[in-house]
Amino acid sequence: MEGKRIPAYEQFDEKNRDLLDHWAAWDNFRLSQLTDNAFSIRKRAEADRPWIGTFTGTRSDGFVFAGDVSGGIGVGLQDFWQAYPASLEVRQARSDEASLIVWLWSPEAEAMDLRHYDSVAHDLNASYEDVQEGMSTPYGIARTHTLTLVPKAAYPGKKGIADIACLLAKASPLLCTPEYLHACRAFGIWSLPDRSNPARSRVEDRLDAYISFYQKAIEQHKWYGFWNYGDFMHAYDPVRHEWRYDVGGFAWDNTELASNMWLWYNFLRTGRYDIWKMAEAMTRHTAEVDVYHIGPNAGLGSRHNVSHWGCGAKEARISQAAWNRFYYYLTTDERSSDLMTEVKDADQKLYTLDPMRLAEPRSKFPSSAPARLRIGPDWLAYAGNWMTEWERTRDRKYLDKIVTGMNCIASLPNGLFTGNKALGFYPDTGVITYEGDPTLKNTNHLMTIMGGFELMNEMQGMIDVPAFNQAWLEHARDFKLYNHFRVSRLQAYAAWHLYDPKRAAEAWKDLWGRLEHTPAPPMTVRKIFPPEVPAPLDECMPISTNDAALWSLDAIYMQEVIPQ
């Protein structure tokens, strides 16, 4: 009990030796977390005997130790209860050599079933779901777990075990201060919290309100589990008082509108541990579960869906290195490094999988190039992959592809507004072409709101191509003339670079306004109670993760470049 050695067997008298000889000797012990709110501890005397014990609890830190006063080893499984079902087991405890088994998926749980949630397709009009034959496959997805081994010279006692378990569960890294990272412009352009006047305080209040609301949503709606932990739901249904977990593309978010970056920039500016845990969990999930690592879709990710891998749209924007850069550069996490290396040549998939094969088929939009892409989010995602590979390895092949693409974009008839969305592309060289009507313009609002804008803030600081910079500025300046989808940070970029206070004021007005498609609703939160819902929950009727991420990233950038 205290980690101290008892006398040798021979030193006990005959009566006590007899008691020791006849007591049950327990060989196996098991800690199982089968839901986010239920764990059990059981043991058995032999492998062919039943498990006994009645102790249950809610959330275990997920640590087990096998050993005695002469030494032993412990193992901790990070996010043990959050990524349930898992079990930690000790076998042969009464022998000279015990075994520790970490069950990442507990054998006590229901079978892992990776089939798509339905056997029939539900289209975009019915459920915002882009199902395509043979594409709703989990083949190639992954899930990383972190295990920490703790050797000990002796059993450390109950308090020692509890202290180790708590330490490993928190897994708190050593990091630089927000002020230092901001001064270095790490990860581009973002603001520190500023409540120096009522206008700025109003922005900070809304940023905090979004984070607080989603923290409660994670807990109240139970966004936990082996394949789910780290992701958010996409859209809310106020009629049912439930997130649309069962409605096609409205279910899991899968990085839509840069929800990863929303969390990371909130962490960078505040240094808050609770936000760190949200961003870390989302990074682990989206980089693993939402992305294919082997098979025909390797290097691409899946658009949002009820099944994380269910949507037929397999795109580079979901797998892009931009999501993993934060975690890698802040921690040097080697798994994140592997994942970013995985996608450095993801553009080669364009030879076999055209991202615009349905929306703009080649039969209607012909091109002599061997592949096609959109400038955004496709080329911007690939360019981020190349930038990350170049800055880590100094392989000029990837720098050259970026510069080539920038020059091609700058030379297009209407810059980033040119033609239909699908342009010609040569994956071997990075050349972008357009062979259509030179007067045709498009306004692709997806270009900058899926990580492209934030990535370009970093890229333009590293790679200077003046003609491209001018094309980027013109796109920011004129975007609102052609598109009603609010992207206030584009206006802010133009206002900052053109020294235009009128445009800056208009950007702030739009951020708080209720424009078409992208409202900035009031954060009115009310409590809903049974029997309307199974358990009390907080509800904000117009909430969506798209709006929360879009608004927050706009505001974080605008607080820095066009402060009120």
Taken in order 378, 259, 227, 288, the sign of the CA dihedral is positive
Instruction: Give the Cβ contact number of residue 115 at 10 Å.
Output: 11
Residue 62 is assigned to a structural domain of this protein: yes
Q: Between the CA of residue 21 and those of 47, 50, 63, what are the distances in Å?
A: 20, 22, 31
pLDDT band at 131 (very low <50, low <70, confident <90, very high): confident
Closest by CA to 474, choosing from 457, 488, 461, 493, is 493
The identity of residue 269, as a single letter, is R
pLDDT at 515: 59
Instruction: Give the Cβ contact number of residue 383 at 10 Å.
Output: 26
Question: For residues 93 and 66, is the Cβ–Cβ distance under 8 A?
Answer: yes
Residue 61 is assigned to a structural domain of this protein: yes
Q: Based on the structure, what is the number of domains in the chain?
A: 2
pLDDT one-digit tens code per residue, 442-453: 989 999 999 999
pLDDT at 162: 95
Question: For residues 408 and 432, is the Cβ–Cβ distance under 8 A?
Answer: yes
**Structure tokens that stand for 97 in this block:** 């050599």
Over residues 385-394, mean pLDDT: 98
pLDDT at 561: 98
Over residues 502-507, mean pLDDT: 96
Residue 375 is assigned to a structural domain of this protein: yes
Over residues 293-307, mean pLDDT: 97
pLDDT at 514: 64
Residue 211 is assigned to a structural domain of this protein: no
Question: For residues 470 and 460, is the Cβ–Cβ distance under 8 A?
Answer: no
Residue 495 is assigned to a structural domain of this protein: no
371: pLDDT strictly greater than 70:
yes
> Which conformational region is residue 318 in: left (phi greater than 0), alpha (psi within -120 to 50 degrees), or beta?
alpha
Terminal alpha carbon distance of the chain: 62
pLDDT at 3: 81
pLDDT band at 40 (very low <50, low <70, confident <90, very high): very high
Domain end: 122, 142, 170, which one?
170
pLDDT one-digit tens code per residue, 514-546: 655 555 667 899 999 999 999 999 999 989 999
pLDDT band at 93 (very low <50, low <70, confident <90, very high): very high
Question: Structural domain of residue 435, as residue ranges?
Answer: 366-465
Between CA 188 and CA 181 the distance in angstroms is: 10
**Residue linked to tokens 């990350």:** 388
pLDDT one-digit tens code per residue, 197-208: 999 999 999 999
pLDDT one-digit tens code per residue, 407-446: 999 999 999 999 999 999 999 999 999 999 999 999 899 9
- ∠409-415-416 over CA atoms, to 5°? 85
Residue 561 is assigned to a structural domain of this protein: no
Between CA 249 and CA 11 the distance in angstroms is: 71
pLDDT at 234: 97
Residue 156 is assigned to a structural domain of this protein: yes
Residues 6+ apart with CB under 8 A from 64: 29, 31, 74, 75, 88, 89, 90, 100
pLDDT one-digit tens code per residue, 18-34: 999 999 999 999 999 99
Please provide the size of the chain in residues.
Answer: 564
Domain end: 170, 197, 227, which one?
170
Q: What is the residue-averaged pLDDT of the chain?
A: 95
Instruction: Give the Cβ contact number of residue 149 at 10 Å.
Output: 9
Residue 311 is assigned to a structural domain of this protein: no
551: pLDDT strictly greater than 80:
yes
Between CA 398 and CA 407 the distance in angstroms is: 15
Query: Percent of the chain beyond pLDDT 90?
Result: 92
Over residues 261-279, mean pLDDT: 98
Domain end: 405, 440, 465, which one?
465
pLDDT one-digit tens code per residue, 461-490: 999 999 999 999 999 999 999 998 989 999
